[in-house]
Amino acid sequence: MQNIDQIRTELLAEIAAAATADDIERVRVAALGRKGSVTELTKTIGALAPEERRAAGALINVLKDEIAAAIEARKTAIETGALSARLARERIDVTLPARPETEGRIHPISQVVDELVGIFAEMGFAFAEGPHIETDEHNFTALNIPPEHPARQDHDTFYLPEKADGTRLLLRTHTSSVQIRSMRKAQPPIRIIVPGRTFRADHDATHSPMFHQIEGLVVDETTHMGHLKGCLIEFCRAFFDVDDLPVRFRPSFFPFTEPSAEMDIGCSREGGGLTIGKGADWLEILGCGMVHPKVLANCGIDPARYQGFAFGLGIERVAMLKYGIPDLRTFYESDLRWLRHYGFAPYDVPTIAGGLTR
Ligand code: PHE
């Protein structure tokens, strides 16, 4: 059948020429569709002499399969080509800056931790952490708070069930436990900043059973009270972004520091509001002091050679002061409206150079 060879040649040429998925579909319909050229050929079989029908039918079937396979192959080639072209066209440049996220917000606690760590990192402090579940030794005894010491009463400690040997683990009541861990790990010079969760069995408008503190510790041969004051004054001025922020240090007591002090910053409560940096009022901001010689000795550091200072500050408290957040409890309610209002844009990472806040 000469007709068959001609149709084959023509169709194969059309298939090879098809450049798009639409082209190939058009060829398929023109060949194998209900009125397609190959389909029409099939219909001519009936007109042949009975003895010729078998051979003609076989030839037409071969043609049909051949064309169908060629169409399929061409289609796959076109699709792969299109995909590669598309991949090349849509290649993503991962070095481009990220699109600012409009929905997600950074929680004020995370933001303030970044700000605090940013300031102290700039002063040369290293970041350190410790576990939430602590031993009595790290949280109290080594910090010069022996068993039965009245200071333990102030801490409203959460204890874990007593173990067989009579000891009890606890949820750390302050980040000062990390002072002990750090001093037992390394000899001076030490300069660390330790943000983290702390726990006390207390719950009202100004206390939460879980809250955050940040601890600072510096130990070296020449460290003295002047360093403590200079460091903390510098820190408060950077954090609250007030260059001439008034500050004062009041004598205080902590078992693990001697002398101990509390630091206040100047503020005004006029008109019911709170303005930091001016006015005649004072606001307590942190506890601090020179590391007690007994604490150094408890950690294997020679108090005749080394001295240090330490400080601890409540993160929620400074976040509330800085960003005018009135109620402590709202920090943990996961209320999206609150987060949208007080939260921070994700890519607004605080740095000393770029600014701490929006
Ligand atoms: N740990 C003390 C507290 O939780 C704060 C503090 C830390 C005071 C370091 C002095 C030195 O209140």
β-strands 190-199, 247-254: how paired? unpaired
What pLDDT is stored for residue 101 in this prediction? Answer: 59
Cα–Cα distance for residue pair 302/22, rounded to 1 Å: 85
The model's pTM is 0.72
Domain range list for the chain:
4-89, 108-342
Ligand 1 atom nearest residue 216's Cα: 9
Q: Whose CA is nearest to atom 2 of ligand 1?
A: 312
97 burial (CB, 10 Å; 0-12 / 13-18 / 19+) is exposed
Do the Cβ atoms of 89 and 67 come closer than 8 Å? no
Q: Is the model more confident about 355 or about 165?
A: 165
CA of 259 to the centre of ligand 1 (A): 12
Q: Whose CA is nearest to atom 9 of ligand 1?
A: 311
Q: Whose CA is nearest to atom 4 of ligand 1?
A: 174
Q: How confident is the model at residue 117 (pLDDT cuts 50, 70, 90)?
A: very high
User: Ligand 1: which of 179, 232, 254, 318 to mutate, judged by most atoms within 8 Å of the beta carbon?
Assistant: 254
Mean pLDDT of 301-306: 98
CA of 162 to the centre of ligand 1 (A): 26
Cα–Cα distance for residue pair 23/325, rounded to 1 Å: 65
Ligand 1 atom nearest residue 198's Cα: 4
Ligand 1 atom nearest residue 213's Cα: 4
CA of 79 to the centre of ligand 1 (A): 68
> What is the DSSP secondary-structure string of 277-330?
TSSSEEEEEEEEEEEPHHHHHHTT--TTT-EEEEEEEEHHHHHHHHHT---GGG
Q: Is the model's pLDDT at 1 over the cut of 60?
A: no
CA of 288 to the centre of ligand 1 (A): 6
Query: Residues 73-110: pLDDT tens digits?
Result: 999 999 998 899 988 888 888 888 777 656 789 999 99
Mean pLDDT of 160-176: 95
Cα–Cα distance for residue pair 244/263, rounded to 1 Å: 15
Residues contacting ligand 1 via CB (< 6 Å)? 174, 176, 215, 254, 257, 287-289, 310-312
Is domain 108-342 classified as CATH 3.30.930.10?
Answer: yes
Structure tokens, 202? 């207390």
CA of 272 to the centre of ligand 1 (A): 30
What pLDDT is stored for residue 357 in this prediction? Answer: 65
Query: Residues 306-337: pLDDT tens digits?
Result: 999 999 999 999 999 999 898 899 999 999 99
